[in-house]
Structure 1
Amino acid sequence: MHRRPRHLPAAAGCRLHGADALGRAHRLGPGPAQPLGPAHAACAAAAGGADRGCRHRRALACGAGDGAGLRCGAAQLRRRAVAGPRAHGARLRACGAGRAPGLGVGADRPAGHGRGQHAGGWAALRAVSAVASPPIAWTVAGSDSGGGAGLQADLRAFDAFDVHGCSAVAALTAQHSRAVERIEAVSPQMLQSQLAALAADLPPRVVKTGMLGSATNVEVVARCIDALRAAHPLSGVALVVDPVLGASSGASFADDAVLRAVREHLLPRATLVTPNRHEAARLLGLPVLADAAAVEHAARALQAQGPRAVAITGGDAATAAQAADSEDYLLAPQAEGWLALPRVDTPHHHGSGCTYASAAAAALAHGFAEAEAVVLAKMATHHALRHGYAAGSGAGPVHARAGFARDTGNLPSLRLSGAPCSFAPLAQPDMGLYAIVDDAGWVYRMLEAGVRTVQLRIKDAGAHELRHEIRRAVAAARAAGAQLFVNDHWQFALQEGAYGVHLGQEDLQAADLPRIAAAGLRLGVSTHAYWEVCRAWALRPSYIACGPIHATQSKAMPWIAQGEDNLAYWCGLLPLPVVAIGGMDVPRTRRARACGAAGVAVMSAITAAADPQRAAQALLRAAAQAGPRHPGPPRARPTLA
């Protein structure tokens, strides 16, 4: 059972302005038991209860005392000289009609942030925005005066993902690399004012929370999430909860009241929660999570409290110092299992938890599903640990930076149950045309046309007929010196001595993979998204198939076409042969090879052709005529429809 979010009284107002500008399907909103009903009070408007002439929908009335921390009106702003470089507030200009800065977003508003720097006014700003408009994510957390964790780490992680990061300070800390000297929560009114200012002009796709400082501030954030989701019901607003309960130096960041508020108000609203093992135990009222089974049980217990997905990180495990791998347990609607990477031996790990949660939030902001977001967070944090540096005499900060997703050393394995195994490499790794056919007669025809890698894909046949077809195909391929893969039916492939087996993701758990590997059969695995690539990568197969590259009618799938950019990305990342599949024809085959594909899997363009043998030969020529190499993007784009 999912827990319904506890109703919070409308203690302070919330005014969310602007139309839903996110423009994508609502998949990142609350869990199944989290309604997008009437908004509670949340991001209180910085000005008091008056409407201030705003023409946009008011979610709730503002309290008379809200926003006491932002009383600077237009007249005062006009009197204040703007000093310092552009990076230090040079864009702040007076707001009209006495509004607090940034809260008026109507089309007819007379002034606003940065307008004076663009000769064309708002039209010029809109033109600039059309060129490049990164997604927006908020971090609501504590400020680290030493610059290693908290908001500072969050914003570095957002930047590594090309996400525009906004920050609301929930707590101030006096700390350095060795200790936290003092913590002070900001007032709920000040937090409300910050959130209202952001909501007025910079609505987020994702909100990430860290240290919030007080139970009241937790409630303020929960109300704001409700209001944002009510204002943007189509696109939704994801919530990533990093339950920062203490520092690595030992300082406690949360008393019992804060812990209770996180359980009651944030977990039921969360899209993803990212505790370490110690934090997961505290959230559940347990002493320790002693082993893997306890971690898996804890993830399910946390998910039962409302989050769509849970990632329990393993950097703080009791045996971490001795463990060769850093393992996180992922429980998401799309996938579950242990994400593993070699542990980074470094003293500079300050801010790793903040980086992990913020990286996941940034991935969600780009439209990735929860499981993919956690994979990307693992990659980004591993890269950040590898580039940590000293900044003071204690533990230095991790350094989140762009380029992490193109480094194979950052790609985790998503471990399946059972003993680990790996498979023999291909005798002919440059496969070229990879024909997929549905009977032994078609295998003969492809071999006669010159194809040297063929997949036998039979879906509807009895056991006797199936075994007979596999036996005939194996004999023909062996005589031609070709590589024959049998789709799905690994038992018959073993019995008949096939060269290899191709398995889909749904078949990996049921197959006896150690037995297949021990028999010397090669293995190909289908993949469509990051978490599936990680699952395949854990097996070290003979090749990895990526698809669908183009739209195809041969198989119903929940995936959108990956496109050639994604194909080039996977070919550049994976140190294994990559097979492109889905919607291939002659020109697309040529381009797929330019992306780096070792093989191009083709079905309909051959079997539905008027002259299949001639079609196969044309595809063979195309596969041998690759043009200049496609460099690929910095990361793959989302593919789950």
Structure 2
Amino acid sequence: MLPQILCLAATDSGGIAGLNMDIRCASALNVHARTVVTATSSQNHHGLTALNPVPDDSFISQLHSHDGAPIQAVKIGVPGNARQLSLTADWLASQTRPVILDPVFTATIGGDFYDASSLTELRQALLPQVTLITPNIPEAERLCNCRILTPDDMITAAQQLLGFGIQAVLLKGGHLNGQFCCDYYVDQQRAFWLRTTRSDATNQRATGCLLSTSITSALALGYSLADAVVIGRMAISQGLRQGYGLAQQEGPVRINHFPDHPQDLPELYDHYSDATVSPFPACDRNLGLYPVVDDVGWIQRLLPFGLQTIQLRIKNQPLTQVAQQVRQAVALCRDSHCRLFINDYWQLAIEHKAYGVHLGQEDLTDANLAQIKTAGLRLGISSHCHYEVARARSLKPSYIASGPIYPTTSKIMPWQPQGIDGLSYWRKLIPQPLVAIGGIYGDRVKAVHQAGADGVAMISAITASPSPETTVKQLMTLFSQHT
């Protein structure tokens, strides 16, 4: 059964934007779009000639026709008039679903959708009930009565929008100059920038509709808001690549499937950046069996079986003991030509010249990544979702680890197991070597390899085995068969 969203917007007589795009976008993401028609718009390549609001009784009856329906999220586009904004706010007051607002003030081809009374009603009645608003810079300027000329201005305007009672803001930065388009997201817990290379596509109409509806659809599919925003930006990139022209005018963007192309994945930064990032040193794609162990003694036991990659992950030990273990592990792996990644302790990895460092998302902010790169160490990064993959991509690591693939008992995870289908999806999206982790053992190795994993990280399948040496020997045989 498909998830369902509700789209409130106008129809477009040209068949390009509004509800026309909303329905096409939801369908491409395998979501069903219910609709409320706010108005019929009359427009062609000369511009918007008329916006004809539906009568109040028609609008109200459409809204209440969805009472009790299994709607997961609501998207609001162009209203017919100020009265509709008030009616929508009244209806939303009894709802608990996330609300995405695309504040479309003007048509791309010219023509104003909002008068002064509509703008007042928007600020006072509707904005306090909005989960996420997706304005471009001119729309944010009009809402905030300010000028936005720099990235710092975007941050200030987004904070001002939060002051209207909105839970989160995605301020689109395409109107600023530069080789990159940088969008700014902020809510009460976090803020980040999404960066994509500026597109030179000719057919760019209805990008705002596509973005907001794809975010709404992703929420209906169960993604978090941060993930949905990344997916929405990916949908825009796909839409721009696949846009089509029309006689006498530029055409719309087009999306026909859930975004899964690495070219469409944005880079995610904690702070604004227009710098070109150099990649970390590459590592062999054949990472193979990748045990993750918590003591150098495990490395001594397992190296004789021909391991090519191993990770030392030590928790809750004094630094002096960790340093001693790292030093011993580096010497052992160097003699056995095994790639040793040190988890978290990047300073010790640099000092003792380990092969690489592995970091979780929570450690990326504190680690000196430039120092790790300058030392020539490889970098592996854990990821579990679109937000984290986009953040990892911005750093250009040596590999990205994805999981959990299957249920795991070695670590409490807030994420649902991705399964082989999820791993196959990440394989399409991630250009770097991909390491699979979580609940992998025995015959699951074959399925993980067939899904495209370059390495398979294992913890309890080895360390909790009654005979770890026998298990590793058997796993190495499996790897030789399926690599």
- The Cα of 1:252 is off from its aligned counterpart by 1.6
Specify the SS of the correspondent of 2:71. coil
Name the CA distance, whole Å, in 2 between partners of 1:554 and 1:600. 15
Name the CA distance, whole Å, in 2 between partners of 1:623 and 1:460. 33
Name the CA distance, whole Å, in 2 between partners of 1:188 and 1:285. 30
- The Cα of 1:589 is off from its aligned counterpart by 2.1
1:410 maps to which residue? 264
Q: Residues 178 and 395 of structure 1 are in contact (CA less than 8 Å); yes or no, is this contact kept in structure 2? A: no
Question: Cα–Cα, structure 1 residues 334 and 375, in superposed 2: closer, same or farther, change >3 Å?
Answer: farther
Q: 1:484 aligns with which of 322, 332, 340?
A: 340
Find out whether 1:194 has 2:62 as its counterpart. Answer: yes
Alignment of 1:31-430 (within 5 A): 133-199=1-67, 202-227=69-94, 229=95, 236-286=96-146, 288-315=147-174, 317-319=175-177, 323-332=178-187, 336-402=191-257, 404-417=258-271, 420-426=277-283, 428-430=284-286
Name the CA distance, whole Å, in 2 between partners of 1:441 and 1:540. 32
Q: Residues 203 and 244 of structure 2 are in contact (CA less than 8 Å); yes or no, is this contact kept in structure 1? A: yes
Question: Cα–Cα, structure 1 residues 309 and 619, in superposed 2: closer, same or farther, change >3 Å?
Answer: farther
Specify the SS of the correspondent of 2:395. coil
2:433 maps to which residue? 577
Name the CA distance, whole Å, in 2 between partners of 1:622 and 1:189. 68
State percent identity of aligned pairs: 39
Q: 2:412 aligns with which of 540, 549, 556?
A: 556
Question: Cα–Cα, structure 1 residues 178 and 485, in superposed 2: closer, same or farther, change >3 Å?
Answer: farther
2:442 maps to which residue? 586
Question: Cα–Cα, structure 1 residues 597 and 334, in superposed 2: closer, same or farther, change >3 Å?
Answer: farther
- The Cα of 1:180 is off from its aligned counterpart by 0.8
Q: What letter corresponds to residue 625 of structure 1 in structure 2?
A: Q
Q: Residues 178 and 393 of structure 1 are in contact (CA less than 8 Å); yes or no, is this contact kept in structure 2? A: no
Name the CA distance, whole Å, in 2 between partners of 1:283 and 1:602. 52
Question: Cα–Cα, structure 1 residues 254 and 356, in superposed 2: closer, same or farther, change >3 Å?
Answer: same
Q: Residues 150 and 176 of structure 2 are in contact (CA less than 8 Å); yes or no, is this contact kept in structure 1? A: no
- The Cα of 1:291 is off from its aligned counterpart by 0.9
Q: What letter corresponds to residue 274 of structure 1 in structure 2?
A: T
Q: What letter corresponds to residue 344 of structure 2 in structure 1?
A: D
CA offset digits 1:152-192 (Å, max 9, x no partner): 11111111111111221112211013311112222222111
Name the CA distance, whole Å, in 2 between partners of 1:198 and 1:613. 61
* Greater C-alpha radius of gyration: 1
Compute the TM-score of the two structures, normalised by the length of structure 1: 0.72
Question: Cα–Cα, structure 1 residues 494 and 178, in superposed 2: closer, same or farther, change >3 Å?
Answer: farther
Q: Residues 176 and 392 of structure 1 are in contact (CA less than 8 Å); yes or no, is this contact kept in structure 2? A: no
Q: What letter corresponds to residue 80 of structure 2 in structure 1?
A: G
Aligned residues: 480
Q: Residues 309 and 370 of structure 1 are in contact (CA less than 8 Å); yes or no, is this contact kept in structure 2? A: no
Name the CA distance, whole Å, in 2 between partners of 1:589 and 1:335. 37
2:328 maps to which residue? 472
Specify the SS of the correspondent of 1:615. helix
2:474 maps to which residue? 618
- The Cα of 1:335 is off from its aligned counterpart by 5.1
CA-based RMSD of the aligned residues comes to: 1.7
Name the CA distance, whole Å, in 1 between partners of 2:190 and 2:302. 37
Q: What letter corresponds to residue 160 of structure 2 in structure 1?
A: A
Name the CA distance, whole Å, in 1 between partners of 2:8 and 2:354. 56
Alignment of 1:502-581 (within 5 A): 502-581=358-437
1:68 maps to which residue? none
Specify the SS of the correspondent of 2:448. helix
CA offset digits 1:582-630 (Å, max 9, x no partner): 1221122222112111111111111112211111112222233339xxx
- The Cα of 1:332 is off from its aligned counterpart by 4.3
Q: What letter corresponds to residue 311 of structure 2 in structure 1?
A: Q
Q: Residues 337 and 415 of structure 1 are in contact (CA less than 8 Å); yes or no, is this contact kept in structure 2? A: yes
Compute the TM-score of the two structures, normalised by the length of structure 2: 0.95
Question: Cα–Cα, structure 1 residues 614 and 334, in superposed 2: closer, same or farther, change >3 Å?
Answer: farther
Specify the SS of the correspondent of 1:254. coil
Name the CA distance, whole Å, in 1 between partners of 2:278 and 2:316. 30
Specify the SS of the correspondent of 1:222. helix
Q: What letter corresponds to residue 260 of structure 2 in structure 1?
A: R
